[in-house]
Structure 1
């Protein structure tokens, strides 16, 4: 069953058409990789699907709701509770410790600071960075910071995770560590993942892969194994 469906998305940035009628379906519990060259519209697609950016045209449906027409307050609530977002550079808050960065989504959802810290510690330990709990992002390695960002994206136990080039700033060893941790955790929880990447080795962790070309057409990388996505 699809958990998230986009139909005919269009989005223009200035004079640039980032999306030109792109459609995609994310199924419950699957990891879907969206690959493509730099500038093909991958990040724009993710932002539209996660409700971060509203498309100019088309529709995005999540759990029976049109995300592209929801008020911002409801979208923010979904991003706090049912969506997790993992960016290329983590986007951790530099003034906060690793512990407080991970606990922040829980506190924004109304959980007490003490209870949020308990859960944050558990997630930091799960990803092998509990020892860095009192460090700030600038005091950690890139791989450590990205595992903290992964813990923050998953601490609310979201139904969908949007990962935008999650290993793009990491070396090959740290990249493998992060992807192994991500895929193991989401498969265990049955979480759906939309994975944006230009790296074939990262895309190989997915159940299914489609390619975005010039924001126009999503084409399966292996037509024999995957359905055509218009």
Structure 2
């Protein structure tokens, strides 16, 4: 019998409602170390809610979420916040950069919150901006960046701490096709180099094509599984 490694992140039979509106109806998903998985499906299928449960941003009403064997859905908020600062990287559709900070300081912020000295944090942030082709924008604030530039900064911020898992919620949704392709190429390259697992929520088939595997949701539950080429 073949022994398969335990998944790094696993959701089991998740149920979640927003008010009276069901979002997840028994959804399950596994993400292995170093694996890139795309979650697709129509609007309202529960894609973002599933990602938010896996990242510990929201708690499911029923079911379980484990990370490295630890039950995320039972952890106190302080522990969840620590995981999101150090072991999880999260990217949202519109970046959600802090408008008062420069691009460099936005990327350096997670490191400084984890206790890294400002100078060392900025040095590392500059290196990550370079990897995403955004070093020249280091001194600009979010309001001075284009959508594509801001999303590259957000991706650098998500990866600067060396996370084990990157959660990307519609990371190219606000970008044109060329900027989206460039952002995904940079994300996949960086994740492969660091060994990070990636869970990306998308409605775009071109984005899903970057994944090792695709999970399709419909009405809050998996509708099928497609293994990428």
Deviation for aligned residue 1:219 = 1.4
For structure 2, the residue ranges without an aligned partner over 5 or more in a row are none
Task: Give the drift of 1:125.
Answer: 1.0
Confirm or deny: 8 A CA contact 1:24 1:218 kept in the other structure.
no
- Residue 161 of structure 2: which of 140, 156, 161 is its match? 156
TM-score normalized by structure 2? 0.96
Question: Could you tell me whether the CA contact under 8 Å between 1:22 and 1:218 is conserved in 2?
Answer: no
Q: 1:75 aligns with which of 73, 80, 92?
A: 80
Q: Pick from 207, 215, 218: which aligns with 1:213? A: 218
C-alpha offsets along residues 36-76 of structure 1, whole Å, 9 cap, x if unaligned?
Answer: 01111100000000000000000000011000000000000
Partner residue, 1:133: 138
Contact 1:129 1:144 in 2 (8 A): yes
In structure 2, what is the Cα distance between the partners aligned to 1:53 and 1:40? 17
> TM-score, structure 1 length as denominator?
0.95
List 4+ stretches of structure 1 deviating above 4 A: none
CA distance in 1, matches of 2:24, 2:17: 7
Alignment coverage as a number of residue pairs: 223
RMSD of equivalent CA atoms: 0.9
Residue 58 of structure 1, aligned match among 55, 63, 67 = 63
**Where does residue 129 of structure 2 map in the other structure?**
124
Match of 1:30 in 2: 35
Find the residue that maps to 2:9 and give its secondary structure.
strand
1:88 equivalenced with 2:89 (yes/no):
no
Unaligned 5+ segments in structure 1 are none
Per-residue deviation at 1:218?
4.2
